[in-house]
Amino acid sequence: MLVAHARQKILQIDLEMRSRYKTLKSNVQPHLGPYIIVANGPEGGTYWLVQNGKVIETVTPIDEIFQLAKSIAHIPLGTFSVLAPYLSHTVPDYHLQSGDMDPRDLAAVAFIGPTSTDWIQPIIDWNKLILDTRGALANAELSDDLRVSSEQICDAASRFIENAVENRKFTMEEFESFTGTIFDQISNNMYWAAKVQIDAVSTLMTRWKNDLNAQWHDVYVLVYSMWTTSVLNQNTIIIKNFMEPDRVDTHLIDIICDQLPVNDPISVGAENLARIVQDNIAAEMIFPTSQTTADALKGKEDLLSQEILKLLGEKNPAEISMAACPFARYSR
């Protein structure tokens, strides 16, 4: 009983620390800024310029061409999504030889298998949407090359679907034959989506950079993204070119979300940034004799990572840390 009471007392100090840390985080938030929050979305992204807890401006700058081009390019993925549960569990030889497809992943996706034809009506319904989309392209005021590539994507998808329905079966090889023939067309749609996004974000970043003038050097940018797009995120790539070179590693921050859009992106962004900013100061004050440990607190590392690496027998965990941590500078 005495041991349990003593341990509870010790655990209580951590609860009290967390309470005080949270209070500091809340009190820091109104003093942050200027900073930018970016939420990736189907429209290409929403941008907020925030200072001292107040939103100065909200912009969704991407031209609709971004969404139109991507909508057509997503048709193969929509077709896959209807048919995937009915795939065979057998990985084709060419995928086995290249080692690029995990049989267990395939089994999880193809959870029904090829014994059922319940996919036929859903794929017919999907094809009706494709045909409606195909008919709308002529009046959508797209550039000629974007219209043509979009038409070809629609036509190829409809041909594949019609053949599958007629034969009452399909294979992975047949699907890949369909998608392989329209790679250039998909690439053209991706080009147009990327072009209009770069143009719009560049214009916005140039304007904000001019408006903020000297303050721009210290601007933080928080970019929300899903894990699947968190590396080489489209908005992060563009914004990087407008930030001061000595600030990119420390002030351009990708925040991985469990879902998009983020509920209350301003509050979530402010809370994350307050944590980052106060940890930057705390790290140097609490670990003045070890820059490696300070950088771990300031960055993405867990503070126990170094000890865990040592215990697991890593030869030089300090070098691993310095290479991986974007805040690494030197070791005291």
* Cα end-to-end span (Å), the chain: 44
Q: Which of 250, 226, 248 is nearest to 237 (CA)?
A: 248
Q: What is the pLDDT of residues 199-231, one digit of tens each?
A: 999 999 999 999 999 999 999 999 998 777 666
78, two tokens = 């929509």
**Residue ranges for the chain with pLDDT beneath 50:** 316-318, 320-332
CATH topology classification for 29-61+219-286? Nucleotidyltransferase; domain 5 (3.30.420)
Cβ distance 274 to 266 under 8 Å?
no
Which helix (H) or strand (E) element contains residue 284?
Answer: helix 265-286
Which residue matches tokens 């070098």?
A: 319
pLDDT of residue 232: 67
pLDDT of residue 1: 79
pLDDT of residue 41: 83
Q: Who's near 92: CB < 8 A, 6+ residues apart?
A: 172, 173
Cβ distance 144 to 100 under 8 Å?
no
Question: Cα(227)–Cα(205) distance, rounded to whole angstroms?
Answer: 25
Give the rounded distance of the alpha carbon of 169 from its chain centre: 35
Q: Which of 71, 59, 40, 46 is nearest to 142 (CA)?
A: 71
Length of the chain: 332
